Every structure is written in structure tokens, then in C-alpha cells.
Structure 1
């Protein structure tokens, strides 16, 4: 399996866990603007090596998810900014252009050092 994008969480925004409790994981590379950083899981940026699309997988820590929908700008945002919102709701059409929806229950917690890996 080809890793399309692989990063480690470097820091947690003050309210990132609250977003996770709402079944959202907001990812941003370390260039995140100050006004949104508190809500994000900050990571080291990687180069996007292929298009993320429904049917692909994402591994977050030890949890594996199937991608069900990808917003219109999610790949571009991930490539340029390291920014997407992962929604743990299994929807088959993206709620917002920068969202990636996945099947399965959200992880209970995310800590610094956890790895996120998208692959086909």
C-alpha cells in the first residue's frame, strides 16, 4: 500500500479534544493561523503523494478508517496547508469542501506523537 500522506501530531490546540468529542479532527500543519490553532491537531507537514478519495484508508494512531467522502478542496488544502477536517460520521457526501468523512467511531484520544497515515 502506498502512503499518500503521513504525519505525526506535534501539538494539541487547547480545544482540539472538544472538537474530537464532536466527532471532528481538525488537522493543520505548523503554519496554522493563530486564530484557529486552538482547535487543531498540529502536525509536521508531508508532501501529498496522490489523491485522497473515497475507499482509501486513514490510520489514526492504532485505529483504521475507510474514507467515505472527500470535499472538493480537501486534497488541495492538505497538499498546500496540511489542513483538513476529518469527520467520523460515515457520510457519503462531504459536508464542507475541506472535509474528509470516514466510517467508524472516533479515537478516544489523540496525543503528541500519534501518527496519521493516508493510503490507498
Structure 2
């Protein structure tokens, strides 16, 4: 597997646990807008994207793997410009929003500060 984009969790919003339990990861690079800080996985030191993320690629949160099923039309540009993307896990009825990614895999887990998050080729 070749990494397409990697980062490190710098903080977890106080309401982010509720989002994980609902199958939603909201990533936002530092500095994060205050309105989104409470629900986001805030990260730092993100790498440049090697290429656009596409269906079939893998979203890794620590050791947990999620297969990318669909990618919204502005998800890659938001990730590159803001470090921001919303990943919906195991939600096949979720409408694909322009800045979102739909993925499938294990039940979402709560990452810890310092956890590596990445998108990789299959």
C-alpha cells in the first residue's frame, strides 16, 4: 500500500465521540474554525496529496481500515486546501455530499491524539 495523504491527530473535539458513534469522521487541519472544533478530528503536519482519492482506496485511522466507496466532487480539493473532509462509514443510504467520502469497514473507533490517519492505495 502506498500512502496518498497522511496526517497526525492533534486534538479531538469534545462532541466528536458522538460523531464517531454515528459513523462520521470530520477531519479538519489546524487552524480549525471554532464552529467545527467541537465535532472534528483536528490534525497537523498533513502531507501533500500524491493524487486524488478514489473509490477502492483505503482510509486508515490507526490500524482500522475502511474501503472508500464514493468520493464527492470537492472532497479532494477541500482535503488539499483545508485538510477538511467528512468520511461517512457504513452508511449506504447517506447521500454523497460534494465534500464527503463514503466508506465501509469496521465500526468506527475513537482515535487518540497522536494517531496517524491516512488515505492509501488499495
Q: TM-score, normalised by structure 2?
A: 0.90
The structure 1 segments of at least 4 consecutive aligned residues displaced by more than 6 Å after TM superposition are none
Instruction: Please tell me whether residue 23 in structure 1 is matched to residue 23 in structure 2.
Output: yes
The DSSP-based 3-state class of the residue aligned with 2:10 is: strand
| Structure 2: segments with no counterpart, 5+ residues | none
Counterpart position of 1:81: 82
Compute the RMSD of aligned alpha carbons: 1.7
| Structure 1: segments with no counterpart, 5+ residues | none
Do the aligned partners of 1:71 and 1:95 also contact (CA within 8 Å) in 2?
yes
How far has the Cα of 1:48 moved from its partner? 1.4
Length, aligned pairs only: 120
Partners of 1:57 and 1:94 in 2: CA distance: 20
Listed as ranges, the matches of 1:1-120 within 5 Å are: 1-44=1-44, 45-89=46-90, 91=92, 95-120=96-121
How far has the Cα of 1:3 moved from its partner? 1.1
Cα pair distance change 1:76/1:94, threshold 3 Å = farther
